Structure formats: structure tokens, C-alpha cells
Structure 1
């Protein structure tokens, strides 16, 4: 099943131990190798829960203590289908920070459940540097196979009781978008598709995916230092999350990196790649989508001019976020059946 072969505590106070890495003050790494994590989010925002969405947590990897959060509209609308599609949302955070419980991600999943009229699945995964890649990819796969086990059980989680296991969409934000890419490659083969049965993935939505490479892109070179995701933080995330000794051309980071799968030969399912005009990751994500399109893959690239990284979770009820929701819903409607 593999892609490859703590609670709050006081930070070290010994004078000769210094902080060497800091990720938004929620992850701090020190010169003696010790790590300090806070349980709170990187920035506090109020939870916007009007009660129209029911949600609950479930454990999908008991041995690792990993949980996911399920969301479902509380009341049906006349236009809702008999069974609701399943829409995965893998959170961002550079593989180093983030959780399904963070209010920005929680708010967005509430918004997705209401806007897409779907069951939303929001899994956690192990974080780096304690668990470097590909741990997050392995955990994300495990969360998909847990949903498969629910489909086969005959007595699924109550929030999945009216889910349509034949209409699954896999989405991710930033690092979660990179996860969605790796899952799209894995499930593209006949073996990968049979691994999912009876689940049927209809499409993928990559929201500003977190890709890397040793050759700087223009959007990386000219990204302002005060951006929500700037180059210094971007490099730090990769430094902490990649396998020891790897560069950002490792295929786990760079989809076109040496030694990775030949994407020209991959039978991709329909994909929507979302980029933002003010996002440091814009050029890499746009190049990824355009290359796949040139190779005849069923890929759409949606460019939100002037928008920064993660605009849809920072302001989930803004006009650009509303437009994105409409595009995603249209993508799902269009791809209700697999395009062979």
C-alpha cells in the first residue's frame, strides 16, 4: 500500500540550542534536532458553522492514530441526487503543518459540502520533518482505501450512508494538490483502478498544487517576500519534507523530475488545475497543466488572475471563492462518467 519502499511542550531553553527552522510559528526545529509543535493553527479565524452541515471525525489508520473528518448537508434539497457524490479535500501546509481541525480548512470543507452538495472527506496525514515524504502519500492512499472499506462493509459510517461510491472526486490544496497528482498517477493503471473497486474516481481538482524543482520559475523569482507563501517558506517546507539527500527535482516534488513516471504514458482521469496570478506556485502548476493538455490528457487549467495562494480558504465566501465553487461544480457535473 506504500508509494515507496506531540502535544504542546515548552520550547528548548538551553542557551546553546538555537532555532534553525520556523514554519509559521507552529513548527519550530532546533539545532539539537528537537522539534516543537503547537496544537493550534498558524493563524486564528472564527469557525463559520451555521448548522446546515453535519460533520464528525473517524479513525482511518488505527496504528498511526490518523483521523479524517466527514461532512454532509443536514437537509436535502429538491435538486439533490438520490445519493451524494464524495469529494476529497487534502489540506495544505507544505507537508509540514496543517490539520483537518484548523478552522480555515474546516470552514472551507463546510463551504464545499454546502456548495457542492456532496459528502466531503478531509483526512489528516503524517507531517514532516518527523515523517518525511512519502509518508503523507502513503497516509492519503490509506484514507482512500478506508472509504473503499466502508463501501464494502454493508454498514458504513452514518455520514456515508447515502454516499455514491461510484462518484468520487479527489481534490487537494497546495501540498494536498500534490497529493492529488500522485493519487491520479497511481489510480491511472488497470491495477490501480481495480485496487479501488467498487469506488470509481471521476476526476481530480488540484488547487494551487505544491510542486518544486531546482530551476527557479519566474513566479518564484519575483514573488514578494511578504506574500502568504513566499520563497523562503516554500524552500523551508521542501527542506523539511523531502527524503534526506533529495533535491526538489525528486519526483515526489517535481512531477517531471528524473526517475519519475512517464506522465505522457499515464491514462489520467479528467483534471482541473487551479492557479492564482499572485501565487508563487503559479508557473509550476500552469506548466504542469499545459504540458498534460499538450499530451492529450483531459486537463483544464483555471487561472485566477490577481489571487494569492490559498485565497479560497483565507476568504471562503469571497467572490473569487464563489466563482471557484461554480467551476468545481461544473467540472463535477461534466465528469459524472469516466472519460475513457
Structure 2
């Protein structure tokens, strides 16, 4: 496996100090390694991940990559269906990929395939956005980048003459949805609550809804499903052991899982009573997800706060099923659930 290296400011500060050779502090799936001097190595070969091998090329969707933040060289991949009626405006689905804030890109075949399906079958204009990854860029970097995506989209809506041609031709800016899986679901909540509390302006675009697929939330107090997974140890692949490690890599140094970037109800989070304009939300909870109890608690608290939230459970499925098997029967049903929500709301 070939590796590429990057050096964080912490590493630069310790370089040449004459200390012992750096050792591996965290090794995450052999894909990301954090060394004791702050250096991060990333695998160029991602074959250790459960990637799909084929993405159908015959879907009626065209796509292109667009820079949304030149300062940080951040891009998104824009998809639009080619089979819709000429001049018909489509909802806009802004999608953030999973990977526990540490791994992933819209270029990975699994995320590309999912975005193709969403664009073709909702149908919608899909904006699948990359963001800075930890531990090189710890939270709230990813949340900040997500806000930058929506600031970019707001400018596109406000200045149609200078907007991207595809958006000008196809996007209905009155029907914008934020969506994401796992870490992307966490980001979707962050965007919805920031906008709902007036801390993130989108006008003239309108945030019509929020879709959270198995959102990646955390907390110091274990839920029953998290505790059972912890006791199972490393044998539970998408379980507590891995998620704890990725929170250590993603959160600010020294922060606990009760940091507001992980726990939406922790001190420092935007109070729900201030988020009057929180949009209708769809939350998907796989039955075998280690986070299922935390997600159910999230939905219960949101409903208690008067938010319009629908919880849809998927029997027999685990965390990330749409990513790991984007063409399976469960994913077919997931597309139908999201399509209904985008078309009809709650």
C-alpha cells in the first residue's frame, strides 16, 4: 500500500527537535495514520475499504466538478438528469459524504454511484461536496466548509446571470435540501440548525428540508447499542471501537465526545428553541446500526422541541448500507423514501 504524507502545524513545530523517531499514535483502517509528531499519512490505495467495482455508465445523468472554495481548493460534483423536460426546474439536493470526518470523497465510486441514483431517480440536481478531512483539519473545519457550500449556493441563486449554467437552467432554488450519510448526516443537522436559528443566511434560496442518513452523532454516556458494540470489540467492524477512534481523530485535541460537533445537545450547541426555522427532517435509522439508540434519542428530542421530524427504520440493515451496496433492494427502498420526502415533505 503506497502512502502519501502531510505535515500538520504541530509536526512542523516539533521538526528538528532531536526527539525520538515518531511512532504511530492512531492507525485507522490502514488508510489514515497519525504519528506522534503530528504527521499524518494517508493511503493512496483505498482497496482496504469496501469499494464497489463497477458504476453503471448508462444512467441518464451528466456530471461535472466545480470549485466552490478556491481558498481551500474545495470542489463539489454537480449532477443533473438529462431525461427531464426542457426548462423544468428541479429540486437541489446538497449531499455530504460519510467517513467519520476522516475518510472519503465524492470521487469514491460508492458515493459517485449514490449521487447518480439520486439525481436520476428523484430526479434532482445533486451537489455532492467534499470538505476538509481530519486529523489534518479537525472539526469544526468540515462544518465550516459545509457552510461555505451553502454560501456559494446562495450567491448562485442571487446572481442568476453569473450563476453556473446548469444551475441557472435546472435548479429550483426554492426547493433546496441538505442531505448526508453518517458524518454527512451530522453535517446536515449542523446546516439545518444553523440556518434555522438565523446564523446561516440562504435567501433567496430556501432550505426546504433536511435528510439525515444514519447520522454520526456521539456522546460520552453510552447508549445500550453502543455499549453492546464496545463489548464486542474490534469484531464489530462499523462499531464503537472504530467510531471512538475516529472521534479522537476528528474532534479538537483534548475534546470529548460531548463536544458540540459530536453531540447536538451538548453545551455550546445551538439551543433548539432558537432554531424556529429548522426545516422538516427525514432521519433514516438502520436496525443493525450501532448508533440506532442515539439516533432514536435524537429524533425524540427534536420532536419534543416541536420540530417536524420523521424517523424511518430499515430492518436488517447496518450503518452505511446505501454506501456499501448502492444498487441493493434496501437502497431501492431508500431512494423511494427520499423521493417521497423531497416531493411531498412531511
- TM-score of the superposed pair, with normalisation by structure 2: 0.88
Gaps of 5+ in 2: 8-19
- From 237, 262, 265, the equivalent of 1:253 is 262
Corresponding position of 2:109: 103
Corresponding position of 1:151: 157
Corresponding position of 2:281: 271
Please state if 1:262 is matched with 2:265.
no
CA distance in 2: counterparts of 1:24 and 1:169, whole angstroms: 32
Corresponding position of 1:4: none
- From 239, 242, 250, the equivalent of 1:241 is 250
- Work out whether residues 228 and 309 of structure 1, in 8 Å CA contact, stay in contact via their aligned partners in 2: no
CA distance in 2: counterparts of 1:213 and 1:286, whole angstroms: 14
Deviation at 1:227, TM superposition (A): 3.4
CA distance in 2: counterparts of 1:219 and 1:81, whole angstroms: 48
CA distance in 1: counterparts of 2:68 and 2:243, whole angstroms: 29
Gaps of 5+ in 1: 1-6
Computed over aligned residues only, the root mean square deviation of the Cα atoms, in angstroms, reads 2.3
CA distance in 2: counterparts of 1:100 and 1:301, whole angstroms: 26
SS at match of 1:272: strand
- Divergent runs of 4+, >6 A: none
C-alpha distance after superposition, 1:105-156 (max 9, x if no partner): 1111111111210000111111111111101000011011111222223132
Please state if 1:167 is matched with 2:175.
yes
Please state if 1:312 is matched with 2:322.
yes
Please state if 1:9 is matched with 2:15.
no
C-alpha distance after superposition, 1:65-101 (max 9, x if no partner): 0000001112226xx9820110011001111111111
1:205-224 → structure 2 map (5 Å cutoff): 205-223=211-229, 224=232
Please state if 1:49 is matched with 2:56.
yes
- Work out whether residues 90 and 172 of structure 1, in 8 Å CA contact, stay in contact via their aligned partners in 2: yes
Evaluate the alpha carbon distance shift between residue 69 and residue 184 of structure 1 in structure 2; reply closer, same or farther with a 3 A threshold: same
CA distance in 2: counterparts of 1:144 and 1:328, whole angstroms: 21
SS at match of 2:163: coil
1:74-223 → structure 2 map (5 Å cutoff): 74-76=82-84, 82-153=88-159, 154-160=161-167, 161-190=169-198, 192=200, 195-223=201-229
- TM-score of the superposed pair, with normalisation by structure 1: 0.90
- Work out whether residues 171 and 205 of structure 1, in 8 Å CA contact, stay in contact via their aligned partners in 2: yes
Please state if 1:22 is matched with 2:27.
yes
CA distance in 2: counterparts of 1:163 and 1:10, whole angstroms: 39
Aligned residues: 325
C-alpha distance after superposition, 1:212-255 (max 9, x if no partner): 00011111111243334121110111101111221111111101
SS at match of 2:52: coil
C-alpha distance after superposition, 1:5-31 (max 9, x if no partner): xx953799xx95432212222211123
